[in-house]
Structure 1
Amino acid sequence: MPLYLTEDDVGSLAEPADAVPVIEACFRRMAAGAVEVMPRRRFAIDGGAFAVMAAVDHDLSVAGLKSYTVVDGELAFVVCLFELEGGTLQAVIEADRLGWLRTGAASGVAAAHLAAPDAASIGLIGCGWQASSQLAAIRAAVPGIERAVAWCRSPERLAAFCESNGAVPADGPQEAAACDVVVTATTSKDPVLRGDWLRDGVLVCAIGANDPRARELDAQVITRAAFVCCDSIEDAKLESGDLIDPVAAGQLDWLEVHELHEVVAGDVSGRQRDGDVVVFKSNGIAAWDVAMGHELVRRAKERGVGRTL
């Protein structure tokens, strides 16, 4: 019988620091060719969209899909996992928090492999739901991070975020951008980060815009970057306005864009010099959902969490 996990169940089973090694292992399996990924597809519906994305992880012997709706600004997520042996439905997982965990963890993996060796500060532009897991996962992955600076357009949200997450409120986005690791986690359609704000040696993790019509990074961020990578080039060509527009303008070539799993596996050297500006563009891929779902089910069975359907 399949296991059903609620959002509260997921919250009781894992924190962002727990998710970092899970997603790092997923990247290593991707590099070894053990994972197949289907990019997200969105269907227009009244008031919003319905999205589906899927992956098969042969090493974990599990396949799965994440589907979700966005209707009038409200979202609902679910991940379904299937065992490859026998093809049975293994679990149904409410997946808002699961997505929060895996998205933050992916940036944590990027920071572990691409941040400058002496990185000690992190700046966040955006103070919403995703920003908190970004901060927690990167702190776990880069123990040298001592200072966090955050900025968003709402003073009330900024104050609440900083109090809850041990961050310092910035006077403007330039102050958050003057850190060793900079995360953009916004819903903006227009750039929120300018390349001339960045110090040498910065790692930029851009996680907010996964629409070809939206950008969080201005052109100078990309032109300053010595190394650009993403989670999936196939997906980036469909969703990453932050990369699609610079390629169209001749500021970047897709042949210059790498995938993070190449760096994790040691197939590609990401940072050549301490002073390099490095960009990780994250859209979110189903391989992470499957890997995180598999780990949650394992923990749930060990701890007796969830209910069978």
Structure 2
Amino acid sequence: MLVLSNEAIAGLISMRDCLEALEPMYRDLAAGRALLSPRVDNISPSAHPGAYYAFKHMGGTWPARGIQALRINSDVLTHPLVDGKPRRVKAPLAGGRWVGLVLLFSTETGALLAMFPDGVAQRLRVGATNGIALKHLAREDAKTLALVGSGWQAGAQLMAALAVRPFTRVQVYSPRAQRRDAFIAEARAAHPQVQIVAADSAERCVQGADVIMAATSSLVRVIEPAWLEPGVHVSCIKAQEVDQAVLDGCERVFVHARQQAKQIDHILPGTPNVSAEHGWWNAPGNRFDTYPDVGMLVTGTAPGRQRAGEITAFVNSVGLGLQFAAVGALILDKARAAGVGEQLPDDWFSEDVHP
């Protein structure tokens, strides 16, 4: 059984690798040749003031690669206000670190093949998913990107956008200037061919943009209906960053997976600081079920952009464990070829007692 670190994974795969790994998986999902295990969050009280405990799990089976993936997270969560808006923030209370793991199993033998932290893989698969949608929905001549957010996920959104369109200018806004400036400095070093500039408001960030990408931890809308100019493509990494008013202003909308709008929340009664998530996706009269998903987009079952002036949107509404089967299979292949990682005895993770 192979154990890998985030650092090892970052050295093994690129954003382009992830884009290439995910598209065939989405085609198989659309064709009924892959399985989802839905995301479920078990939520209970935490001893920390203003916090609650959440155990998240999701999975997926991809027979084409002979892989079953399981992704789990054990988190203490808080909802602080940032610039007057509530955010979903994970507290690093496990010795100053976070706990998230991916396990890969063989569908041929049942054996546990690999285990690694989810951080780098989950960042890349979120970026790649939005990048796939952008490839099919943004105008071919898109040159200016507006990026709302400057955290860990925003960097992956930028990588994916640049992998599928030749953007020449990127405008970045987030409410904390110090973080925004640090993000821009890092982005300029990584992408010196692109003009990357700061905006001091979200409204200025989106001015003249061909594509608007939100990548925040906000629990409320960060994309405004008034920003929807003809020809623009908008995307987000969580459903809360948009609402029905935004989507009603778009002519062509895709969601991540029609099988699941959002995670299933199992909340222990009496748990403080948390309530079941409510939003446009489960409000009366919502249109979630009418939107095609990314599998339909890549197979052409639902067409992408049809006109230059069309306003399009992609909502990365919930993460899929199946993404980790696709990206995980790629990581496993590359790690084996490079001789990277630590091998542990297989019999540590199997048993000779019939379960």
Deviation at 1:289, TM superposition (A): 1.1
Q: Shift of residue 83 of structure 1?
A: 0.7
Structure 1 CA distance for aligned equivalents of residues 204 and 324 of structure 2: 33
Q: Is the 8 A contact 1:217 1:242 kept in 2?
A: no
Question: Scaled by the length of structure 1, what TM-score is found?
Answer: 0.91
**Aligned match for 1:81, one of 99, 104, 111:** 104
Aligned to 2:242: 217
From the superposition, tell whether residues 243 and 227 of structure 1 become closer, same or farther in structure 2 (CA, over 3 Å): farther
Q: 33-42 vs 228-237, which deviates more?
A: 228-237
Q: Given the superposition, is the C-alpha separation of residues 177 and 198 from structure 1 closer, same or farther in structure 2, using an over 3 Å criterion?
A: farther
Q: Which residue of 2 aligns with 1:264?
A: 298
Cα drift, residue 254 of structure 1: 3.3
Q: How big is the shift at 1:24?
A: 1.6
Name the CA distance, whole Å, in 2 between partners of 1:130 and 1:253. 27
**Any unmatched runs of 5+ in structure 1?**
210-214
1:124-163: CA deviations, max 9, x gaps? 1111000001100111122x21111110000001111111
State the distance in 2 between where 1:39 and 1:186 align. Answer: 23
Closer, same or farther in 2 for the Cα pair 1:227/1:243, shift >3 Å? farther
Q: What secondary structure sits across from 1:258 in the alignment?
A: coil
Shift in alpha-carbon separation, 1:237–1:104, aligned structure 2, 3 A = closer
Deviating more after overlay: 155-164 vs 198-207 = 198-207
- Of residues 42-51 and 288-297 in structure 1, the stretch that sits farther from structure 2 once superposed is 42-51
Instruction: State the AA in 1 paired with 2:333.
Output: R
Matched, 1:69 2:74: yes
Shift of 1:59: 0.9
Write the deviation string for residues 206-260 of structure 1: whole angstroms up to 9, x where unpaired: 1034xxxxx2124431111111111112321557966415x52x3x523421111
8 Å Cα contact 2:69-2:103 kept in structure 1: yes
Distance in 1 separating the partners of 2:238 and 2:206: 15
Change beyond 3 A, Cα 1:242–1:197: farther
- Give the stretch that moved more between structures: 72-81 or 255-264: 72-81
Residues 122-133 of structure 1 mapped to structure 2, 5 A cutoff: 122-133=145-156
Answer yes or no: is the 8 Å Cα contact 1:177–1:198 preserved in 2: no
Rounded Cα–Cα distance in structure 1 between residues aligned with 2:224 and 2:337: 47
Residue 38 of structure 1: aligned partner: 37
1:176 matched to 2:211: no
Alignment check: 8 A CA contact 1:204 1:280 kept: yes
Task: Name 2:22's counterpart in structure 1.
Answer: 23
- Counterpart of 1:274? 308
In the alignment, is residue 236 of structure 1 matched against residue 261 of structure 2?
yes
| 1:94 matches 2:117 | yes
More deviation, 18-27/260-269? 18-27
What amino acid is aligned across from residue 244 of structure 1 in structure 2?
Answer: W
The runs of 4+ residues in structure 1 deviating greater than 3 Å are 237-243
Cα deviation digits, residues 2-52 of structure 1 (max 9, x gap): 111111111111122321111122212212221100111001143320100
Q: What is the rounded CA distance, in whole Å, between the counterparts of 1:83 and 1:244 in structure 2?
A: 35
In structure 1, how many angstroms separate the alpha carbons of the residues matched to 2:133 and 2:204?
22
Between stretches 81-90 and 15-24, larger displacement belongs to: 15-24
Partner of 2:181: 159
Q: TM-score, normalised by structure 2?
A: 0.80
Q: 1:219 to 1:34 in 2, by over 3 A?
A: closer
1:278 CA displacement = 1.2
Matched, 1:105 2:128: yes
Whole-Å separation in 1 of the counterparts to 2:102 and 2:62 = 14
Aligned partners of 1:37 and 1:287 also within 8 Å:
yes
Alignment partners' CA distance in 1, 2:63 and 2:2:
21
Amino acid at match of 1:253: R
Give the total of aligned pairs.
Answer: 299
**Bigger shift: residues 227-236 or 108-117:** 227-236
In 2, distance between residues paired with 1:149 and 1:202? 15
Q: One-letter code of the match for 1:299?
A: K
Give the counterpart letter for 1:91 in structure 2: A
Q: CA 1:126/1:242 → structure 2, altered by over 3 Å: closer, same or farther?
A: farther
Provide closer, same or farther for how the CA distance between residues 242 and 18 of structure 1 changes in structure 2, counting only shifts above 3 A: farther
Please say if 1:8 is aligned against 2:7.
yes
Larger Rg: 2
Q: How far apart in 2 are the matches of 1:140 and 1:280?
A: 17
Give the structure with the larger helix fraction. Answer: 1
Match of 2:49 in 1: none
**Helix, strand or coil for the counterpart of 2:115?**
strand
Aligned residue for 1:253?
287
Residue 242 to residue 277, structure 1, CA distance change in 2 (3 Å) = farther
Q: 1:125·1:150 contact (CA, 8 Å) conserved in 2?
A: yes
Partner of 1:203: 233
> RCO (CA 8 Å, sep 6+): is it higher in 1 or 2?
2
Q: Which letter does structure 2 place at the counterpart of 1:201?
A: G
Amino acid in the other structure paired with 1:37: L
